[in-house]
Structure 1
Amino acid sequence: MKLEMEKYLKVRMAQAQGARTVEELKGMSDIIIENDDELKEVEALLQNVCKCKNVSVDTVVKAVQDGADTVEKVSEVTGSGTACGRCKGIISNIIENKR
């Protein structure tokens, strides 16, 4: 199952604003998760920062904890943000919140 584009964008926008869990996502967005398959897809998406390079939130958080304090430094260490660049907002939020 593929998440419809509108929901995908809502998840990514909320993620760039700090949503890391489905509960946080629901609090920041009017997204409606319709079934278990969609829930699993959203949960997986929330754990991934960069779809192009398949870089997880945990990988970016670790890079930040290890001293990467700019989007460019995180990109250098993890590869995230080096393809299409759409994940840079999420990377920036992780740097700001260190989570």
Structure 2
Amino acid sequence: MSLEQIVCLCNGVTYAQVREAMAQGARSVEDIQAATGAGDVCGGCIERIEKILGDVCTCRNVSTEEVVKAIQNGDTTVEKVGVTTGAGTACGKCKCVIESLIESNK
């Protein structure tokens, strides 16, 4: 998904804005709604938001669950998570989300 792609048509929220909210600590649909307004009007984008929340690294198809598991197993840096899961080793756009997950799972 391109960064400019609209996730929420009602509020004009882009994929980049949702990912930025994730980098700032948003972990649920409700968090994304509070941070961006996405999903607050008709709710038609909730499934898209859930999908985005579930995927940390779309280049390597690495889920949030896989990254959290790696962190819980002792990977305390983006580089270590990358070695274990592959996340963050392609385009690098997900590194800020991985950093946020590391911080929130300390």
Shorter-chain-normalised TM-score: which range?
Answer: 0.7 to 0.9
| Counterpart selection for 1:24 from 5, 12, 31 | 31
Instruction: Work out which of the residue numbers 71, 75, 92 in structure 1 matches 2:78.
Output: 71
Residue 60 of structure 1 is matched in structure 2 by: 67
Structure 2 unaligned residues grouped into runs of 5+: 8-12
On the 8 A contact 1:20/1:47 being kept in 2, the answer is: no
Who is 2:10 aligned against?
A: none
CA contact (8 A) 1:20 1:46 kept: yes
Consecutive unaligned residues in structure 1, runs of 5 or more:
none
The count of corresponding residues between Structure 1 and Structure 2 is 97
Q: Secondary structure at the match of 2:56?
A: strand
Higher helix share: 1
**Higher relative contact order, structure no. (Cα contacts within 8 Å, ≥ 6 residues apart):** 1
Corresponding letter in the other structure for 1:57: T
Q: Which structure: greater strand fraction? A: 2
Percent identity of paired positions between Structure 1 and Structure 2: 43
- Aligned alpha-carbon RMSD (Å): 2.0
TM-score where L is the length of structure 1: 0.87
Correspondence 1:96 to 2:98: no
Following the alignment from structure 1 to structure 2, what is the Cα–Cα distance between the partners of residues 87 and 71?
10
**1:45 aligns to 2:52 (yes or no):** yes
Once the 2 structures are TM-superposed, how far is the Cα of residue 41 of structure 1 from its aligned partner?
1.1
In structure 2, the partner of 1:4 is 6
How far off is 1:32 after superposition? 4.5
